[in-house]
Amino acid sequence: MTHRFFIIAGFLAAIALPQMAMAQDPLSMTAIRVGQDEDGATTYSLSLQILALMTALTVLPSIVLGMTAFTRIIIVLSILRQALGTQQTPPNQVLIAIALFLTFAIMTPTLTAINDTALSPYLAEEMTADAALAQGSTLIKDFMVANTHTEALLLFSDMAETGDFTDVSEIPLSVVLPAFITSELKTAFQIGFLIFLPFLVIDMVIASILMSLGMMMLSPMLISLPFKLLLFVLVDGWTMTVGSLAATFAMGTGG
């Protein structure tokens, strides 16, 4: 899983890292130059490349949140914790760790494709940075579009007045990203609703029993908590939830 994380960071960094055939003198680090190499491809000075690298590392968390399966997973896990009524158990750090590891597992086919078709050729100097970025963006868009509702794509496409698209590569990120996030929120709340129902039934049954016994001063949530935990453990709830959640994702043409 950690290897796949470095693939993401490495791909973003590889676009900005220098590819210099000969060493530069120390003063060149302060220069800002844009030129062309022997093949006519655009090259950037070291200072611009370092600036691009630092910018990529700054926005990397947002990219992980907005362009992968993380959003849906963390929302569903948060709703599950609320349905169980366990307050801060598991804690936020544990939920985030589970969401990150599951995200890496789900994104592995897409990350492998990016590594094979964009990152590795770029590091081997077989592909320019622009071509590698375009190829990687297309694979990421394949995953996002495969998990985006058509209505959301049409909505943001009409808002951007970009017209119809014949291929995924023609859809700009300015349309795919908000449509993907909106679709992830909708899907996450739909899954959360289905998860919440059985626990809600237990709460209602316990509250009805307590009321019939005249124990109205006793909190139904306090009594129903061990029963909900027992039910969740008996059905192997974590494995079932994680497995079902992973199965809701389409891998796209990139995977």
Determine the distance from the C-alpha atom of residue 191 to the mean position of all C-alpha atoms in its chain, rounded to a whole number. 17
**Would you tell me how many other CB atoms lie within 10 Å of the CB of residue 31?**
12
Walking along the chain (255 residues) 10 residues at a time, the average pLDDT comes out as: 51 40 38 48 60 75 81 91 85 90 88 84 79 82 86 84 73 85 92 89 86 77 85 86 86 52
Domain boundaries, the chain: 61-247
Supply the pLDDT for residue 185: 92
Question: For residue 150, what is the enclosing H or E element?
Answer: helix 150-160
On whether the CB atoms of residues 68 and 107 are closer than 8 A, the answer is: yes
CA distance 67 to 207: 42
Residue 183 contacts residue 146 (beta carbons within 8 Å): no
Tokens of 238: 């974590």
